[in-house]
Amino acid sequence: MNKKERMLEWINKSLSIDIVHHIDSDGLCAAAQMIKFLEKKGKDYNLVSGSPQRMRYSNFYNKLKNELIIFLDLPADQFMEEIYKLNNRANIIIIDHHVLNKDMNSDSIIHYNPVLDGINKYCPSSKQVYDLFKKHDWIAVIGVLGDLGGKHWRDWINRVERKHGLKPCSGENCLDSEFVKYDHLINSARMVKGEEGSDKALKVLIDSKSFEEFKEESVKLMDWEKEVSDYLDELKDTFEKDKLENEKLELLTYTLRNLKYNIGSALSTIVSMKHHNKTVVLFIIKGSIVNVNLRRQDGKYDMAELSRQSTKGLLKASGGGHAKAAGASLRLVDYAEFRNKLRNNLRVQMKTAK
């Protein structure tokens, strides 16, 4: 039996299933597709919002109750100890596209990752799930665009756009697609309202039977989108004014404190597209914690590697993600040391790249 046949068998014999999903657009769109499939099969499910940060804490796993657990858009293979503990009592399916840490496939774990599945291009989890079920293409496209996968899947996106009566996107990363609007709506809900917002966005996705219905229902998320886009515009301007530039390292950094909304990831993505041949690093200080967003849109250096290396050896710190977009989290007391490590590791990458 291949992976998909085994997955379907596990789902079929389960009454209720834990769905652990990332809370960005890609994670929510991957989850929405999976849940629609489970609902059609008459399965119950327990939804758990997750993030790589939360997965570092062992009490996070207490929320998982069922004998089948599905991780979506979350690098479960980076938390092997916890996963193997769960695996003592549950079968596990991981559908993820973060940098591969370990091939977890076994008799009781099914692990999808583009690297393991012979997909040699960037492939967000919404697309991974779409390729399994081939349903709700509009949800999959929203997630793929949310994770900046547009340029790798343009032909498919154009077909979906035409099917739904939308103008085919033509911009570099398909960011002119009509579907991008809905990615912004979904993400804004999370940025303004945190988990309550992402739960609501996911519910709108699940409850909409078609793209037409979703267009009407998603109006509920529009006030939040306006608040977020105004706030982002304001911060974009202050970034341009106040950013620090290290020319030798092609590095732009910027530190923010006490943000009104959780927009670090969105802001870093936006400003890094304008400075696509620079490494852009945002530091967001909140209480005694620093959250870091790293971006490098031309792909010259590996941000996942940079964040991992630079948090190595720091207490209660973690880093990881994708080559062009990564994140890290650390204690404020280690802020200066992290910045040093970051510069040193960037220097190492520049040397080896030459």
State the nearest-atom distance from the C-beta of 61 to Mn ion, in Å: 21
- Cα(188)–Cα(353) distance, integer angstroms: 37
Strand segments, DSSP code E, in the chain are 16-22, 44-50, 68-72, 91-95, 109-112, 244-246, 251-257, 279-286, 289-295, 318-321, 325-331
State the nearest-atom distance from the C-beta of 265 to Mn ion, in Å: 11
Of 19-27, 60-68, 281-289, 328-336, which segment contacts Mn ion by CB under 5 A? 19-27
**Which residue from 73, 161, 183, 250 is in contact with Mn ion, where contact means CB under 5 A?**
73
Choice between 137 and 147, CB closer to Mn ion: 147
**Which residue from 52, 114, 124, 321 is in contact with Mn ion, where contact means CB under 5 A?**
124
**Which residue from 18, 26, 302, 305 is in contact with Mn ion, where contact means CB under 5 A?**
26
**Which residue from 18, 77, 137, 147 is in contact with Mn ion, where contact means CB under 5 A?**
147
Are 114 and 128 in contact, with CB atoms under 8 Å apart? Answer: yes
State the nearest-atom distance from the C-beta of 96 to Mn ion, in Å: 8
State the nearest-atom distance from the C-beta of 264 to Mn ion, in Å: 16
Q: Which residue is it, tokens 């091939």?
A: 103
**Contact flag: residue 250 with Mn ion (CB under 5 A):** no
Q: How many Å from the N-terminal Cα to the C-terminal Cα in the chain?
A: 45
Closest residue to Mn ion using C-beta atoms: 26
Gyration radius from the chain CA atoms: 20
State the nearest-atom distance from the C-beta of 335 to Mn ion, in Å: 27
Q: Which residues of 114-148 are buried (b: 16+ CB within 10 A; e: fewer)?
A: bebeebeebbbbbbbbbebeeebbbbbbbbbbbbb
**Contact flag: residue 183 with Mn ion (CB under 5 A):** no
Positions that interact with Mn ion (CB under 5 A): 26, 73, 124-125, 147
